[in-house]
Structure 1
């Protein structure tokens, strides 16, 4: 009997460190770029976060084009607009600068730069026939980890359903992570994106597709988020150690789920975000403890590991099913520390849509990694509990 094989993809090059963006221009030139196309959003542009990127490209003697039409949860229409602008600019190098939406838009537009058809025809895994142009992705939030992954998420403008496109061709030629670029993000953004990191790490750690390297990266990211997220959120632009730790955790968690996959949290949050505009990280943060509680009976030992990584005092002599509950409480504690709402009722999501959201989540590709088998009724119950705040394994102080 042949053992199951492990598969894991990573970017061609990764550059990490405070001030790393100053090296961007020389790397782009080395990779053959002469006229890079920068995909970003108005917030990044207006906040001046793009300035060091511009300076580095100019210092390398590169002309560049900036396109700032990215919208949260980018639709197929936004992606095609970016691709059309790339072609009109006669560019030869695609760059995504910003949060996950900017990087996802750049990834999807890079597909259209070398492949004919509507972007949603490439939905699924391994459906991109031609290599993309050279690419570099530079995150400005410690959150999605999209810069190191081979997946992009595009919302169908007709159905409001998020579709996943994955292919090794989408891996960056350069993933550049500069923690300094995350310093100016508002506290609520740092909180939500930081909890997104925690969600990626936890879902990768308990995934049925977990591998030894993905689990090691995931567990280290979990510990890092627990130790550093509150400091990264509270000290706007100041706590260099915390910001650096969170940027590294984001990158590592992105690599972890790129190999191990995700689970029910993302399957549900994709629907909540697409239907009601709830920011992705915030939706994940709220839903995470409810899904953990659901998954606990299937992976109690892994939940004990998570609890310990988050600083809980666990007793491994006791039944894992009991000690694993501390992981749920620990995640809620981290969320409370950065002022994450405890229920979906505190967002723009509508509880009446629960049956529809559950049915849509059942078809989401992220669900395939969830350790406990689910059906639409299970997902609906998780959603109802997330709306009503019915969390059993959190002890009141």
Structure 2
């Protein structure tokens, strides 16, 4: 064992040296080693036959040729060193890295070709390899490894990069498997199981027991010739060789006669069958093949089993019926005899194959069929579990790749996937022996500015905007609104539609905080009417309801699952639920009559669930209207008490969009301008609005600016908390925002001071809430000597505006029952944390923090100043 330890020590030193070589040098070594192995293919094949007494020398020559020439040609241009993928825009690189020392277990059935194959893979990938030969094939295996090593060293490889155990034993093999960095095991089930149990990552392959189906559509002449060719290749020791042949009853007799005409012997006598069963396994243990039978000619098999066959026989078929484990003939054989079965039909053949594959799961199966006429049978064949499903090819050579299908990777180690207890199901190649390192540089997410394609504004713009309906060739429209707005302004809309000779239907059943049942009812009416235009007209509730009705209409007869639409997301581009596209059946126009939600320009719609009374903010750009008409004339007769709360909602939109983790230069301008309009003009619009055209216009434009900002930068926890207190206690949304906003400004701005958590978003590089709020204060003309004083001034300005427009400063002052409020506090806080708006808040809120904000807001607790 001391010698084995020394081998590992030298191999690790060689590996470290090998790491310094570039791709050009690796390729040079790989070529030199492949050439040397190929030049010695005959001598190595002769050595293998002498030592193992298995197989055929000519076929072993071909396998050595395959392991050197085919492997080299397949992988000579494959990059295995350094960075193989780079995307500067995404800031990502992928780099190949060798694993270290490969512990390679070599079988007695293919002792030289497998050694060549594994050594070449190690050289191509800059890994060291230590070989543990089978005791019955140690001399030829070591000879193959030494030939490859000598050529590699001469070409520039480290001298101990390939090594081997001189005197193989169970202890030595276990040492190799436990001390390697990865095991590449080829051998019997026991060896593979030991590899996977070693505690070291392993690539091991399971037992083969390939069934071959001969369909009645197959070319029987080619099928029989190929199966004989496959089984007599190296006397059947390739693990992918057919071990059972399943022939459809309709062509069974004809196929058997063809086999017999090609020097195959069919065992039909029960006594002879039992002789095979008795001799197959060593000590009668299923799965432990008698090595005397492995890799022998048909004549030698007959002699060992004790039957007489013609001297010209090259292949033996043993007629069998049972496909279960207790039938010895159903197991792997690795020789020149197979079990042959008669299937009633193709489905029966598939069923029999499935049974047989239980004794060789995941490895290989083959099918002989007319591929042009029997595509359905090939589909059924695909339901079997092997990693290789070979069609119309000799299975042994067809499965190892690059001979009967040039797209299949050449390999002498064939994975069986989890069906066979393996970690993979493909043909092993160089990439299986490489780690992939990924270098990622920080990158910001792609952002956008998405708005309605047309936004009309200015006093009296309604009529001019409707002229676009001629261009859109609108024939039928649906107006979605509420009864009050319809009575006040409905004729303004219908007059325009009449002028343009557009048919219309009215749905005026929208209530404040629109319910899901209302939108579903409206959607059904819209589906029946089949309009090409939907008009959402009124306050935010009417426009929000119209958006969802439009979405449901566009979805056709299939009913949308509202719960799916309401699923929250961390990134709108990665959401689980995809909204249907809009605009295929109808356009949508949003016309606000109040100055608040900004719904006319946003992808948002807030809908209340009838059962739970929970408000769900739906968000998707498919909800963005095609046109928004901002006509302040529609607000002139709005009563003062319908002016204050919506405007405070809009002001909150400005502040939250401005400090959002998704804010950009594009959205900040809208947020600032919106806040200026509302803060400076809302008192006049509220107290003198019906006479003050300028004030109403400024506030309405401010609300739309706010919508344009948060449509693209999103909102924050003011809205998260407001949604829940509105749903649980009926507080008007804008009024709730007005109460909560000052506390959240203080909370966000204090993030760094209080050791709060910064929100997670790639472009949000530093916690800058204090600076952003202070800058907003400057933009609004507020005073302060430093950031802290400016934020204090901003909080005072919000509270002063709230008072000026006669909104209350606390939930308690609105009559919210104290016991009910605090009974619901835990639930509201959890729901607010999970609200769609929370993710864009600049300070990552803890649920306990949300509870504290709710508590302070309930009582209207004075806000502590930063500047003392």
Preserved contact between residue 24 and residue 53 of structure 1 (Cα < 8 Å): no
Q: Which residue of structure 1 lines up, in the alignment, with residue 365 of structure 2?
A: none
Match of 2:783 among 313, 333, 346: 313
Deviation for aligned residue 1:358: 0.9
Matched, 1:180 2:647: no
The TM-score, its normalising length taken from structure 2, stands at 0.44
Matched, 1:154 2:625: no
Query: How big is each residue's C-alpha offset from its partner over 1:206-247, in whole Å with a ceiling of 9 and x where there is no partner?
Result: 111111111111011111111100111111421111111111
Matched, 1:304 2:774: yes
Q: Which 5+ residue runs of structure 1 have no aligned equivalent?
A: none
Preserved contact between residue 689 and residue 696 of structure 2 (Cα < 8 Å): no
Deviation for aligned residue 1:90: 3.1
Matched, 1:189 2:629: no
Q: Which residue of structure 2 lines up, in the alignment, with residue 89 of structure 1?
A: 529
Matched, 1:128 2:571: no
The TM-score, its normalising length taken from structure 1, stands at 0.94
CA distance in 1, matches of 2:515, 2:738: 23
Match of 1:272 among 717, 720, 725: 725
Q: Which residue of structure 1 lines up, in the alignment, with residue 186 of structure 2?
A: none
Matched, 1:288 2:741: yes
Q: Which residue of structure 2 lines up, in the alignment, with residue 340 of structure 1?
A: 807
Deviation for aligned residue 1:119: 4.9
Match of 1:37 among 474, 478, 487: 478
CA distance in 2, matches of 1:308, 1:114: 45
Q: Which 5+ residue runs of structure 2 have no aligned equivalent?
A: 1-90, 92-442, 752-768
Preserved contact between residue 286 and residue 341 of structure 1 (Cα < 8 Å): yes
Deviation for aligned residue 1:4: 3.3
Superposed CA RMSD in Å reads 1.7
CA distance in 2, matches of 1:106, 1:348: 32
Q: Larger Rg: 1 or 2?
A: 2
Matched, 1:362 2:833: yes
CA distance in 2, matches of 1:329, 1:128: 41
The number of equivalent residue pairs is 391
Q: Which residue of structure 2 lines up, in the alignment, with residue 98 of structure 1?
A: 538
Query: How big is each residue's C-alpha offset from its partner over 1:292-319, in whole Å with a ceiling of 9 and x where there is no partner?
Result: 111122311112123233432222xx3x
Q: Which residue of structure 2 lines up, in the alignment, with residue 142 of structure 1?
A: 595
Preserved contact between residue 199 and residue 285 of structure 1 (Cα < 8 Å): yes
Preserved contact between residue 135 and residue 174 of structure 1 (Cα < 8 Å): yes
Preserved contact between residue 720 and residue 837 of structure 2 (Cα < 8 Å): yes
Specify which structure has the bigger relative contact order, considering alpha-carbon pairs within 8 angstroms and separated by 6 or more residues: 1
Secondary structure of the corresponding residue to residue 335 of structure 1: helix
Deviation for aligned residue 1:348: 4.8
Q: Which residue of structure 1 lines up, in the alignment, with residue 464 of structure 2?
A: 23
Match of 1:221 among 668, 674, 681: 674
Preserved contact between residue 196 and residue 282 of structure 1 (Cα < 8 Å): yes
Match of 1:259 among 704, 707, 712: 712
Query: How big is each residue's C-alpha offset from its partner over 1:101-151, in whole Å with a ceiling of 9 and x where there is no partner?
Result: 000000000110021223513234462123242100000001110000111
Preserved contact between residue 39 and residue 67 of structure 1 (Cα < 8 Å): yes
Q: Counting strand residues as a fraction of each chain, which structure ranks higher? A: 2
Q: Which residue of structure 1 lines up, in the alignment, with residue 856 of structure 2?
A: 385
Q: Which residue of structure 2 lines up, in the alignment, with residue 204 of structure 1?
A: 657
